[in-house]
Each structure stands twice: as C-alpha cells, then as structure tokens.
C-alpha cells in the first residue's frame, strides 16, 4: 500500500484525501492542518491521522479535543509521496521540506509552473510524470481545457483555440470573495493567464483566453472556439468522439439542465460526495461546426475536477500503473462517468 500524506487540508486537500482512501492501492498516511477548525474536526471524525503544521500551535488542537499524531515533518517522513494542497505560493515554500526527506510531491495549479518538472493532466501527458520527483497538477480551468483539447488535437489537429472563461467569484467557503453584484473582466489584460497555463501541458498549442468573474460559487463556464486543421464530415462525429471520453460528460438537451445550478442539483440527487462533479460538463447542443470552427460550452466544477488528476499523478510518479489502467481504476472507484 502506497502511503500518501496530504499537506494542506482545505477544498482540494480534503477531497484528495477521500479519493485516496477510495483506492485499493494507496492509503492516507495523514493530513496536516494549521488550525483546529471545523475542517480539522472533520478530518478527526474521518479518522485521518492529524499532523500540526506549526509546532507552536499544537495547544489549540489539544484544547479542541483533537489528538495529534505529530508535526508535518513527521508526516512527510512517514509518507511515500505527499500531495501539497496548500494555498497558492505556500507549496513553493514547502518544497525544501520534501527535498529534505527525499519524498516526491505533487503541487497544485496555484503554484508557478517552475515549481515542478512537469505540469500534469492525466489524459494529456500521464507518462511525462513517471519517475519525476515533483509534479504540478494543473488548475481546474487548465484541467478542463486540457481534457477537451486532447482528443480533438489527436483526431483533427488544432490551428487555434479561443476561449472565454466565465469564472466563479469564489468557492462556497470563501465568504470574503466577490463580486457580489457585478461582472468583472478579470484579468482585464488579454490574453488571460489561462492560455499560457494550458501551454504548460501542450507547449505547441496556439491558444488565447479571456477571463471574467461573476457572482456565483458553483462552477466555471467556458465558451470555447477551436479552429480545426481538418473539419469532420459531420458534427455528430465530434459529438461521438467527445462522448467516448470518460471525463467528458455530455449534457443532453432533454435533461433540462440549463446551468451550473441544475448541474449541482443533479450531482446532489445522484448522491455524489459534497455534490462534486469530477467531469467536464459539455452541453451537447452547443457543439457546433461552422467550416473548420468548432464551438461548444462546458461547465467545470472547480472544487473537484482536479481530484482524479491528483490520484492519477500519484500513480504516474510512483509507477503503480500505466495511464489507461490508472484512469480506469480512478474512474471506477470514484464513480466517474456514471
Ligand atoms: P484552501 O484555502 O481551501 O485550502 C488550503 C488549506 O491549506 C487550508 O486548510 C489552509 O489552512 C492550509 N494551509 C495554509 N498554510 C499552510 C501551510 N503552510 N501548511 C499546510 N497547510 C496550510 O485552498 P484550495 O482551494 O484547496 O487550494 C489549494 C491549491 O489548489 C491552490 O494551489 C489552488 O490554486 C489549487 N486549486 C484550487 C481550486 C479551487 O477552486 N479551490 C481548484 C483547482 C486548484
């Protein structure tokens, strides 16, 4: 059993921990927390060994009745690999800790791409992370775009991608984020940073992105235009191709799903943990071909789409399975595509 430590137990970290626990070939060595808040209580209730990030703050945990297994240093020493899911920029500060213990680590998309040898997406470049010591699992938006671009790139060739990203203002627990009553160009500069981030996975891809931020916590929505090198005979060909991808969920017109709200409602009705949606959700009717231009709209659940990617990255780095085997096992254990 591969022992996986989780450093940074927030939106992404707690989901990755639960996903690791669902795998037959790995287990949670423990999770590291800064403070004894409700999330730490949840970790204790889930019986994850808890490690304190800051030695000077262990009293708070004891006062809250939370037992500690040690400090983050102990956790790294006891782990075969660490998933660092700390806030943007903290991962870079943590890298020397992993180096000191000679422990491989995954970082998240909020870190600069230079933090790791590889920027990872399970569908696009699984093999590149094999034997790497440090890997960055790209952000939610970059994951969503990489999954969509991969099969199209393989089958039709891509001349240029243009995407407008309508981004959620914050996650549900980020009570201080906004806007609360506006639609903001964000960033105002064009292209936004998302295009260059996709190029960390597809260095040759010509892609421009524009970003906006709106008052919702639910999901991002992408309006995508891809100029193909070679157009298909019929749009149904592209629909079938995308339908064949496990982590692309086609939303049929008859389902009456008109936005992120109904998607989240569906996920909760389906009994998915935390209402998570690990797949890209593509409105089937939006898939359109005009000459060599492909158009579509997709919703991306920012809190969860990178979770299966972290599981696959763990297997790639440690050599547990090859890409197709790992993706299939992750899909099966999490219930992806059901
Ligand atoms: P978060 O704030 O929800 O969770 C981070 C956790 O790390 C918190 O519990 C925080 O207390 C803890 N922490 C802070 N400093 C720490 C330290 N020094 N050591 C250990 N833990 C520490 O953040 P998140 O949304 O889970 O984001 C984590 C990473 O994942 C970021 O790089 C982010 O860009 C990326 N990401 C986030 C999303 C998203 O939408 N939330 C999506 C994809 C990728």
Per residue in 172-221, pLDDT (tens digit) is 999 999 999 999 999 999 999 999 999 999 999 999 999 999 999 999 99
Under the banding of pLDDT at 50, 70 and 90, the label for residue 337 is confident
Q: What is the pLDDT of residue 131?
A: 86
May I ask the CATH architecture of the domain 141-300? 2-Layer Sandwich (3.30)
Domain positions in the chain: 2-138+306-334, 141-300
Residue to mutate, 85, 120, 193, ligand 1, most ligand atoms under 8 Å from C-beta:
85
Say whether the ipTM exceeds 0.95. Answer: yes
In the chain the first and final C-alpha atoms are separated, in Å, by: 27
pLDDT of 119: 98
Lookup: tokens for 329? 């096992």
For 308, the token pair is 């299966």
Provide the pLDDT for residue 16: 99
> Taking all residues of the chain, what is their mean pLDDT, rounded to a whole number?
97
Calculate the CA dihedral of residues 40, 42, 43, 45 and round it to 10 degrees: 130
User: Looking at the predicted structure, is the pLDDT value of residue 244 above 80?
Assistant: yes
Share above pLDDT 70 across residues of the chain, in percent, rounded to a whole number: 100
Distance 102 CA to ligand 1 centre (A): 23
pLDDT at 248: 98
**Which residue puts its alpha carbon closest to atom 41 of ligand 1?**
303
Angle at 127 between CA 306 and CA 295, to 5 degrees: 55
Element (H, E) at 137: strand 134-137
Residue where the block lists tokens 């009553």: 181
Q: Burial, 225: exposed, middle or buried (Cβ in 10 Å; 0-12, 13-18, 19+)?
A: middle
Task: Indicate which residue's Cα is closest to atom 15 of ligand 1.
Answer: 86
The reported pLDDT for the residue numbered 338 is 63
DSSP 8-state secondary structure symbol assigned to residue 311: H
Average pLDDT of the residues in 235-254: 97
Please state, in angstroms and rounded to a whole number, the distance separating the CA atoms of residues 282 and 148. Answer: 9
| C-beta of residue 318 within 8 angstroms of C-beta of residue 80 | yes
Which residue CA neighbors atom 12 of ligand 1 most closely? 8
pLDDT beyond 80 at 111: yes
Superfamily of domain 2-138+306-334: NAD(P)-binding Rossmann-like Domain (3.40.50.720)
Spot the catalytic one: 17, 75, 140, 263.
Answer: 140
Annotate 100-134 with b (16+ C-beta within 10 A) or e (fewer): ebebbbbbbbbbebebbebbbbbbbbbebbeebbb
Residue 281 annotated to the active site: no
pLDDT tens digits, one per residue of 153-180: 999 999 999 999 999 999 999 999 999 9
pLDDT of the residue at 149 = 98
- Residue to substitute in 5, 11, 307 for testing ligand 1 pocket (most ligand atoms within 8 angstroms of CB): 11
Separation between Cα atoms, residue 69 and residue 265, nearest integer Å: 38
Question: What is the number of other CB atoms lying within 10 angstroms of the CB of residue 286?
Answer: 14
């Amino acid at each position: 059993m591969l022992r996986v430590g989780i450093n940074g137990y927030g939106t992404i970290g707690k989901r990755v921990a639960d996903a690791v626990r669902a795998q037959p070939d790995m287990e949670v060595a423990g999770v590291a927390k800064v403070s004894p808040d409700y999330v730490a209580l949840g970790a204790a209730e889930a019986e994850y060994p808890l490690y304190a990030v800051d030695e000077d703050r262990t009293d708070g945990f004891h006062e809250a009745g939370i037992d500690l297994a040690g400090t983050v240093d102990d956790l790294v020493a006891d782990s075969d690999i660490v998933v660092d899911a700390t806030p943007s920029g903290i991962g870079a500060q943590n890298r020397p800790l992993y180096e000191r213990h000679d422990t491989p680590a995954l970082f998240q998309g909020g870190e600069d791409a230079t933090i790791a040898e590889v920027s990872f997406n399970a569908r696009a470049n699984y093999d590149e992370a094999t034997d790497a010591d440090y890997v960055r699992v790209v952000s939610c938006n970059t994951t969503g775009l990489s999954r969509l671009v991969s099969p199209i790139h393989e089958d039709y060739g891509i001349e240029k991608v243009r995407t407008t990203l309508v981004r959620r203002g914050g996650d549900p627990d980020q009570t201080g984020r906004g806007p609360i009553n506006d639609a903001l160009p964000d960033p105002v500069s064009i292209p936004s940073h998302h295009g260059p981030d996709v190029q960390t996975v597809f260095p040759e891809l010509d892609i421009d992105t524009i970003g906006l931020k709106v008052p919702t916590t639910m999901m991002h929505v992408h309006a995508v235009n891809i100029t193909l090198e070679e157009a298909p005979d019929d749009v149904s060909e592209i629909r079938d191709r995308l339908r064949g991808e496990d982590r692309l969920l086609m939303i049929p017109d008859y389902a009456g799903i008109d936005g992120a709200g109904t998607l989240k409602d569906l996920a909760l009705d389906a009994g998915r943990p935390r209402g998570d949606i690990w797949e890209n959700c593509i409105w089937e009717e939006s898939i359109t071909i005009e000459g060599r231009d492909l158009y579509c709209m997709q919703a991306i659940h920012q809190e969860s789409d990178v979770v299966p990617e972290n599981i696959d990255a763990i297997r790639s780095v440690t050599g547990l399975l090859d890409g197709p085997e790992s993706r299939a096992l992750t899909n099966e254990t999490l219930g992806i595509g059901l």
